[in-house]
Amino acid sequence: MANSFGTMATAPSSHGAKNTSNPTRPTGNGNVVKRLQSELMTLMTSPTPGLSAFPSNTDITKWNATVTGPTDTPYADLTFKLTLAYPSNYPYAPPEVLFKTPVYHPNVDMSGRICLDILKPGGQGKEGAWSAVLNTSSVLLSIQSLLGEPNNASPLNGEAALLWDRDQAEYKKKVLARHQEPAEMEENGLSTGF
């Protein structure tokens, strides 16, 4: 029987003991599952243009997402894949978010890690801005906004920050040279994580 995530639910064993091998449930707090189910429902019933997110087939705390670059930016019409990993104390701590699509950006390093205040736990220095009222949609909207409005005062890629300020035409060339659509990534033997 399929569960609400489109995966097969595991029935209890014949010995009467509960089968704990069901990978759709995290080992942590059931409130995390409920919160993520609610967020998924909201994303499905009220989609935001240019954003999508859905849990993996095996674990509701591991999500895949896409963000389309904002218009009138070097990222316009480009699609980026990301992964989100939710901690056992979500929403009181932020998800770990990584770009899977290669991206040239002042606030993204070569591994896909993102420097964005809302992805830092609240109370972590003066910059930690995560709050339990934030959610998957607000994270993805913030990342989409960051694509068009980088924080060059806190770059992970100093070269990109300088180029953004000095030469937008050259910056756009670097963006296009680094970006690969998901089909291209698979052709080149790179896993998209999806």
**Tally of CB atoms within 10 A around 4:** 12
Full-model pTM: 0.79
Per-residue pLDDT of the chain (194 residues; tens, 9 = 90+): 444 444 333 333 333 333 333 434 444 579 999 999 999 999 999 999 999 999 999 999 999 999 999 999 999 999 999 999 999 999 999 999 999 999 999 999 999 999 999 999 876 555 678 999 999 999 999 999 999 999 999 899 999 999 999 999 999 999 999 997 655 555 655 554 54
Backbone angles phi, psi at 170, to 5 degrees: -70, -35
CA distance linking residue 124 with residue 70, whole number of Å:
29
3 state DSSP class of 56? coil
Give the pLDDT confidence score for residue 189 in this predicted structure.
58
What digits encode the pLDDT tens for the residues 131-154? 999 999 999 999 999 999 999 998
Nearest 5°: the CA angle 58, 61, 63 is 80
Catalytic residue among 115, 140, 146, 175: 115
148: left (phi over 0), alpha (psi -120 to 50) or beta: alpha
CA distance linking residue 99 with residue 80, whole number of Å:
7
Nearest Cα to Cα of residue 141 among 82, 193, 77: 82
Give the pLDDT confidence score for residue 75 in this predicted structure.
98
Residue that has been written with the tokens 């220095």 in this structure: 125
Would you call 115 a catalytic residue per the annotation? Answer: yes
Nearest Cα to Cα of residue 86 among 65, 69, 106, 107: 65
Rg value, the chain, Cα:
19
What digits encode the pLDDT tens for the residues 34-64? 999 999 999 999 999 999 999 999 999 999 9
Averaged pLDDT of the chain: 84
CA distance linking residue 80 with residue 63, whole number of Å:
14
As a whole-number percent, the residues of the chain with pLDDT over 90 amount to: 71
CA distance linking residue 64 with residue 151, whole number of Å:
25
Which residue segments constitute the domains of the chain, with CATH numbers given? 31-187 (3.10.110.10)
Report cis status (omega within 30 of 0) of the bond before 87: no
Q: What's the DSSP call for residue 54? A: E
